[in-house]
Structure 1
Amino acid sequence: MVPARTDAVTCAGGSAHHERQELLIDHDHPDLDGDRHVLWEHATVLTGADAAPVPDGAVLVRGERILAVGTRRALAAAAPGSTVRADLDGAFLLPGLVDSHQHVATPPSVPYATAQLEREVYGGVTTIRVMADDLRVVAELARASAAGELPAPDIAFAAFFAGPSFFDDERVRVASAGYEPGTAPWMQAVDTHTDLAQAVAVARGTGARAIKVYADLAPETVGRITDEAHRQGLLVWAHGTVFPSGPSEVVAAGVDSVSHACLLGHEGRPIPASYAPPRQDIDLDRFRDRVPESVDTLLREMRRRDCVLDATLFVDAHTGTPTPRLSAAARITARAAELGVVVSAGTDFPTTPDDPFPAIHRELALLVEQAGFTPARALAAATVGGAAALGRSADLGRIAPGARADMIATAEDPTSDLSALRSITTTITRGRRLDRRGFDPRARARERTWRP
């Protein structure tokens, strides 16, 4: 899509940064006379970009795509007469949230997964990145979500590669039942003898968007996996340390994102030979006052390579008690953001079954409380950052012409206070409306019980 151009623009403040868009139209989709146009109006539109908010704004949607963004007056005049008018009652309209690190089917349970996904989408999450589960279940959930058959975020998922020594892990057994460990198309054991062209092609056939590189893989093997995955059009999402491969070796392999900020703390220290316990933890004393020079150099290289950091601070806080590992992970995340590394917001764990809101709310709060992000910057991690982690910056994480119509409406402004996310009234996913009042958080709490 060519860049959209701006029509009928009025300026306030005398500079491009403060320009207020009266009407922004996607000129790749000029036909505004088709059916099922919806004008989401009477909202302050927070586009997710650096542009100023659009007061008394509106978003014109056709099907699952955004056609135009601007003031209510301008869009009402441009929209066809058959347009459905959806009054948001003065809400704040912002891009849907992306959770860049989720698990919904290890072990596989459709009632558990659908209950979790329902809470996610009614809590404002419109896309999730599933980081390797039983893809027989996940692929069907992704299809049903895309088709509008169940209330759920859009689902992008990865197939899983690790060294053969990893595959006595119990999680592998339950997520690949019916296969010998390491032989399932979505969970493959890889070594120096593996035909990687075939292995990646088999993984690609599951519908995976990426290969997740997990553990017990040497640097040369991580590099070969990455090269072959990219050759076949897949992304590579890796753990920050892929024992015995250290963080800098993982990044040098060319992976697209690394998960778990705490794992980057292994940089500059001897790397354990295997993921299997007993495994030496990071040296927390190195992070008491600052990020060590070796980690700082690593982060600069990530910035140079456009490698996304999937921070997952919630991993070290989901028990409710802050830990020294959380402090180290937060310090690394803060420094990464300072250096210009794109940070995404992933959770890895759900909140407790009786919590009415998903874990992404807590992850964003941790980015503010522990890593020093502003609320707006934390929201960027869950929008433009999440889109970057998925390789979908062109159509996710922003409210703009041509982007997918994934948005949420809140009664209060979350860019000032993240607790305003709990005032969510409406989730719009692929142009479909879900009102928060239609969700009973107590109804399926038992089904959301975590099954380790």
Structure 2
Amino acid sequence: MKSGINTLLASIALGLSSSVVAQTIALQNVNLIDVEALSVNEAQTIIIEDDKIKQIVPASYRRFADDAIKIDLAGKYVIPGLIDTHVHHATSPDDSDNDEITRTRLRQLLQGGVTSVRDMGGDTRALSSLKRRADNDIIQSPDIYYSVIIGGKAFFSDPRTVASAKGEIPGTVDWMRAVDENSDFDAIMLRSKGQGATGIKIYANVPGAVVAKLSKAAKKHGLKVWAHAFIGPATPLEAVNGGVETISHAADFAAQVIENFYDMRRKNVALTEQQKSDAKQLEAYQTLIKQMKKKGTILDSTLTVFDKTKASRGEKGLLLNEWGGLFTQLAHQAGVTIAAGTDVTSDRFNTVTPMVHHEMQLLVERAGLTPLEALQAATINGAKVIGIEKKTGSIKAGKTANLVVLSRDPSNEITNSQNIVHVIKNGQFIHLGDNEKLPFVMAREAAGLLFLSGQLGNLPTTMALAGNDISTQMTQAMKNIGFVLQDHNLDFNDVVKCTLMLADIQDWPLANQAYTPFFTKLPARSAFAASGLALGAKVEVECIAAL
């Protein structure tokens, strides 16, 4: 069974089991990347208590709680969890963004170091479900923050809006609302909050005067204000002056100069040679850039989407790609805050590596950011976009323990952000799949069955047991099995047989107490005493699941 209520129930059991295990973890001897000070603090120890960073101390510190789990990270580097500030995960929830496909994408994002995403428009009926499951660690996913889409009436003839509003009329629903100067802006914002949205996205066909009214109402009701750089007819400057807090797509700054930009952008009308030349006259953008700096407007550049699609878009694609790098560099040189959004999924280009790594590389290579500044764009600046900078985005005591441990120094070479050893979200080590250093795979399919390798009660990707008692180790072993099942879009109700190997058969009753809550329907099982389990573990669990 690959979806449905049983998946949800089993996953809830997994999530609830994980939430009751309090842990103190000491990440010792690690080099800490400070994305706010743009520096590397060598030989630090980060103490995590439950889901928070409790303390950061020199590596020489030794006053740990007796039950603290110590993990030596000598020679490693730790950065905050990455934030992709421009994704779309529910444009077509019954087709290209169905739940199984989207859960796979989200899992791969998390395993690639992304711990938060800003979804920039889709069906909030699907997004709210995904967000709830992500918030409670029921699915392996970054935390999800999403918007409702605001536009002029003409915009909602776009076929993408039909898929996102399936069963309803685009422009008349709370997650896709058409507006004009006579709209009840307070009511729109209250309804947007009712959808669970973090912010509004002003998409298209909205004049500057209405942008200002939307911004004022959104801020009044505690919503972030996001928009495309080119809303049309509102120009980028009108969006900034109207109070938009983050504008997306640096390439669209050209709308400040090209009068018929909409025709070029949406209707593929060719530009004249004079227009192409005018678009690259950088002095024409100085007022826009100065206003962004003055008002603290953040630029979500999205260089990746234009870089990855330039060939398929013809001349327009080449122009947009060139403009994106040019205008991002201009903004960066003026001190405008840059965030790292991608606006494209990795699977579209046959990779599992999150595109935010590519975005950081482009920010360095094409916009002139240093590697540390690119990391800043993909962490604390992204947190500022969403409004969560007080709880995440940098490595400080009191913040949520969203961390990525790297084997190489990203401050020297930004591509080292991809050399991931561990991912930690909400204080929990994340399962990253097969480990090439081990002489086995996590699972293998054969004859309609999935054969899972034995799992110990170790924290994923580490050699550290989750605790010294049988209950803690059994719970962690079952969680580890759940992670492998999720990799194959299965759940505990697909398990047909388990084998328990216990270092002490007297632990059988306590092992059962930790084991049974993971199932709504118990599988067949064997259990026996076994000496010499790896890591000195008290239990190892091996399972078989039906595909």
Which range, TM-score by smaller chain? 0.7 to 0.9
Equivalent in 44, 47, 66 of residue 31 of structure 2: 44
2:291 equivalent to 1:301: yes
> Of 80, 90, 93, which residue of structure 2 is paired with 1:105?
90
SS state at 2:157 partner: coil
Give distance in 1, aligned partners of 2:276 and 2:37.
36
Shift of 1:285: 2.4
Q: What is the distance in 1 between the residues matched to 2:195 and 2:400?
A: 24
Structure 1 residue 422, shift from structure 2 partner: 2.2
Distance apart, 1:171 and its partner CA: 0.6
Change (3 A) 1:293 1:281: farther
Matched, 1:92 2:77: yes
CA distance in 2: counterparts of 1:65 and 1:446, whole angstroms: 30
Aligned pairs for 1:18-97 within 5 A: 35-50=22-37, 52-74=39-61, 76-77=62-63, 79-97=64-82
CA contact (8 A) 1:163 1:217 kept: yes
Asked if residue 364 in structure 1 is aligned to residue 360 in structure 2, the reply is yes
Distance 1:122 1:320 in 2: 28
What is the rounded CA distance, in whole Å, between the counterparts of 1:358 and 1:116 in structure 2?
A: 9
In 2, Cα distance between the equivalents of 1:207 and 1:39? 35
Counterpart secondary structure, 1:317: helix
Structure 1 Cα separation of the partners of residues 301 and 143 of structure 2: 21
Query: Normalising by structure 2, what TM-score?
Result: 0.71
The residue that corresponds to 2:245 in the other structure is 256
What pairs with 1:130-149 in structure 2 (closer than 5 Å)? Answer: 130-149=119-138
1:15 maps to none
1:355 counterpart residue number: 351
More helix by share: 2
Question: Relative to structure 1, is the Cα distance of residues 128 and 281 closer, same or farther in structure 2, using a 3 angstrom cutoff?
Answer: farther
Task: State whether structure 2 residue 335 is matched by structure 1 residue 340.
Answer: yes
> For the residues of structure 2 that align with 1:445 and 1:285, how far apart are their CA atoms?
50
Q: 1:310 aligns with which of 278, 300, 303?
A: 300
CA distance in 1, matches of 2:400, 2:341: 21
In structure 2, give the amino acid aligned to 1:324: L
Contact 1:244 1:271 in 2 (8 A): no
Deviations 1:274-322 (CA, angstroms, capped at 9, x unpaired):
898426578442355xx52231221111010011000000121113758
State the alpha-carbon separation in 1 of the partners of residues 198 and 393 from structure 2: 18
Deviation at 1:71, TM superposition (A): 1.5
Quick check: 1:57–1:70 contact (8 Å CA) kept in 2? yes
Partner residue of 1:240 out of 229, 250, 256: 229
Q: Distance in 2 between matches of 1:268 and 1:274?
A: 14
Asked if 1:285 corresponds to 2:277, the answer is: yes
In 1, Cα distance between equivalents of 2:427 and 2:74: 18
Structure 2 residue 376 is matched with structure 1 residue 391: no
Output the CA distance in 1 between the equivalents of 2:214 and 2:25: 44
1:40-71 per-position Cα deviation (integer Å, ceiling 9, x unaligned) = 22311112221642222111112222111122
Report the alpha carbon displacement of residue 94 of structure 1 after superposing the two structures with TM.
Answer: 0.8
SS at match of 2:430: strand
Give the TM-score of the pair, scaled to structure 1.
0.85
| Secondary structure of 2:372's aligned partner | helix
Instruction: Tell me by how many angstroms 1:366 deviates.
Output: 1.0
Distance 1:428 1:35 in 2: 15
2:188 corresponds to:
199
Secondary structure of 1:98 counterpart? strand
2-side partners of 1:52 and 1:170: how far apart?
A: 46
1:250 is paired with a residue whose SS is: helix
Equivalent residue number for residue 213 of structure 1: 202
Structure 2 residue matching 1:436: 3-state secondary structure: coil
In structure 1, stretches of 5+ residues that fail to align are 1-33, 448-452
After TM superposition, give the deviation of residue 361 of structure 1 in Å: 1.1
Q: Retained in 2: the 8 A contact 1:162–1:188?
A: yes
CA drift at 1:392: 2.1
Shift of 1:430: 1.2
In structure 2, the gaps of 5 or more residues are: 1-20, 312-316, 436-441, 445-483, 490-547
What is the aligned-residue RMSD (CA, Å)? Answer: 2.5
* Equivalent-residue separation in structure 1 for 2:159 and 2:153 (angstroms): 14
Deviation of 1:380 (Å): 1.1
User: Partners in 2 of 1:361 and 1:384 — Cα distance?
Assistant: 15
Identity %: 28
CA distance in 1, matches of 2:106, 2:233: 34
Displacement, 1:378? 1.1
Aligned mates of 2:398, 2:47 — CA distance in 1: 11
Aligned counterpart in structure 2 of residue 224 of structure 1, from 207, 213, 216:
213
CA distance in 2, matches of 1:230, 1:438: 45
Q: Is the 8 A contact 1:245 1:271 kept in 2?
A: no
| Count of aligned pairs between the two proteins | 409
Q: Which amino acid aligns with 1:412?
A: R
Q: 1:267 aligns with which of 256, 267, 284?
A: 256
2:258–2:279: 8 Å Cα contact kept in structure 1?
no
Q: Select between 337-346 and 40-49 the one with higher mean Cα deviation.
A: 40-49
* 1:41–1:86 contact (8 Å) kept in structure 2: yes
